[in-house]
Amino acid sequence: MASGIFAILDDIAALMDDVATMSKVAAKKTAGILGDDLAVNAEKASGFVSSREIPVLWAITKGSLLNKLIILPIAFLLSAFLPIAITIILLLGGLYLGFEGAEKIYHFFVPHTESKKEELKEAKTKEEILAIEKERVKSAIVTDFILSVEIVIIALGTVVGEPIVEQILVVSVIAMLATIGVYGIVALIVRMDEAGYYLIEKSDQKSGFKVKLGKFLVAALPKVIKGLTIVGTIALILVSGGIFVHNLDFLHDIIPHAIPSIIAEFIMGLIFGFMCFLVVKLFMKVKNSI
C-alpha cells in the first residue's frame, strides 16, 4: 500500500517536472505576444485620473480572465478531436499578428490624427468620462481576447503531441501567467507617475534623492510605454514570422540557409504582415468608395 502511494507521488512529481519544462518552452514561444499585450494594456489603462486607473485595469483583468475561461475549453476540445484546426488557427493568428505589427510600423511613419488622450481631455462631464472609460475597457477586452487566442494556441502548439492532461496543465499555466503577470506589471507601470508624485510631496528637500527619483518616475512613464510599444511591435513581427517558418515547409526552400533564423522569421513576418495590411487597406478603400 505504501509503495503504491509512493509510486503515485513519483508519477505526480514526474508529471509536474514535465509540465514545468514544457511551460518554459511555451512561455518562450508566447513571450512576444505577452510583450505586446503588456504594451497595449499599459497604454489603455493610462491617461485616466489617478483614482480611475486601477478600477479600469481591474475591469480589463476580469474581462481577460473571462476570455481565458471561454477560450481554454474550446482549444482543448479542438486539440483532442480536430488537431489540424490548431495549425489553421495558428496560421490565421500569424496573419493577424503580422498585420498588427505592420499597421503599427505604418502608423509610426504616418501617425494617427486622433488621440485617445485628447478625447479624455475634451470630456467635460462625469457621464462623458465614464462613457469613454467603458469604451476603452471594452476595446481592451476585445484586444485581449484576440491576443489570448494566440497565446493559448501557440502554447498548445508546443505540447500538441503530449497527453491531454499535460496539455491542459501547461496551457492553463501559461494562460494564468498571461493574465496575472501582464496585468500585475501593467498595474505597476501605470502607477509609476503616482509613486513619483508621492515621493516629491513627501520630500523635505527641493532637490534631494526622493525628489530626483520622483521626477524620474514621472518622466519615465510615457517613455516606458513607448518603449514597450516598440519592443512589442518587433516581437509581434518575430512571432508572426516564426509561425509561418515553422508551419509552412515550402518557406524552407525559399529562405537562404545562410540567414540566421531570427532574421528569416523577422523578414517573413514583415512580408506576410504588410501583405495583409495592403489587402485590408485596399478593401477599406473599395468599401468607402462604394
- Report the pLDDT value the prediction gives residue 7, as an integer from 0 to 100: 44
- Report the pLDDT value the prediction gives residue 275, as an integer from 0 to 100: 94
92: amino acid identity, one letter: L
The pLDDT tens digits of the residues spanning 30-52 come to 666 666 667 666 666 666 666 67
Largest CA distance in the chain: 77
Cβ–Cβ under 8 Å, residues 158 and 29:
yes
Task: Concatenate the DSSP letters of all residues of 199-246 into one string.
Answer: HHHH-SSSSSHHHHHHHHHHHHHHHHHHHHHHHHHHHHHHHHHHHHHH
The C-alpha atoms of residue 174 and residue 150 are separated, in whole angstroms, by 12
Task: Provide the grid cell at 159.
Answer: 505540447
Average pLDDT over residues 196-217: 78
At residue 124, φ and ψ (nearest 5 deg) are: -100, -45
Cβ–Cβ under 8 Å, residues 46 and 53:
yes
- Report the pLDDT value the prediction gives residue 13, as an integer from 0 to 100: 45
The pLDDT tens digits of the residues spanning 135-172 come to 878 877 877 787 788 788 878 777 767 777 777 888 88
> Considering only 11-25, 146-160, 185-199, 264-278, which range has the smallest mean pLDDT?
11-25
- Report the pLDDT value the prediction gives residue 274, as an integer from 0 to 100: 95
The pLDDT tens digits of the residues spanning 91-106 come to 888 888 889 889 989 9
pTM: 0.71
Task: Provide the grid cell at 209.
Answer: 534623492
